Amino acid sequence: MEPSNQVNQFFYPEQLTPLQQNNALNDLHQQMHSMQNHITKLYDKIAKQQVDIDVLKKEKSMNLTRKRKLILEYINKPFWSNPTISFEKWIRTIPISYKS
């Protein structure tokens, strides 16, 4: 394509057919929908970070005794349930085979 044609097409664009217009509008609609989803996700992240910041500010102003109590509660919190059988019984259930 010659440079003069490119300039003419920029300043004097050809009229689009109704199908081309409809396709262009659909593309714009999809792009807008995608951008809206992206903005919504960013807003959700910002809101979550703001909550985290508020919690950190609250913890910063918390006194030392309260912090110690929270740490002790966290340490003493059970992460898993106690086993139903003892270790000695469990280890005897493991099959062992000797191959030479």
* pLDDT tens-digit map of 5-42: 667 666 777 777 888 888 888 999 999 999 999 999 99
Task: Return the pLDDT at 97.
Answer: 79
Q: Which two tokens stand for residue 21?
A: 């217009």
Conformational region of residue 94, where left means phi above 0, alpha means psi within -120 to 50, and beta covers everything else: beta
Q: Which two tokens stand for residue 59?
A: 């913890």
Asked if 24 and 16 count as a contact pair (C-beta separation under 8 A), the reply is yes
Q: Which ranges of 1-100 would DSSP assign to H, the alpha helix? A: 3-11, 18-60, 64-76, 87-92
Asked if 90 and 83 count as a contact pair (C-beta separation under 8 A), the reply is yes
The CA distance from 62 to 78, in Å, is 25
pLDDT bracket for residue 3 (50, 70, 90): low
> The tokens 């951008």 sit on which residue?
35
Percentage of residues in the chain having pLDDT higher than 70: 85
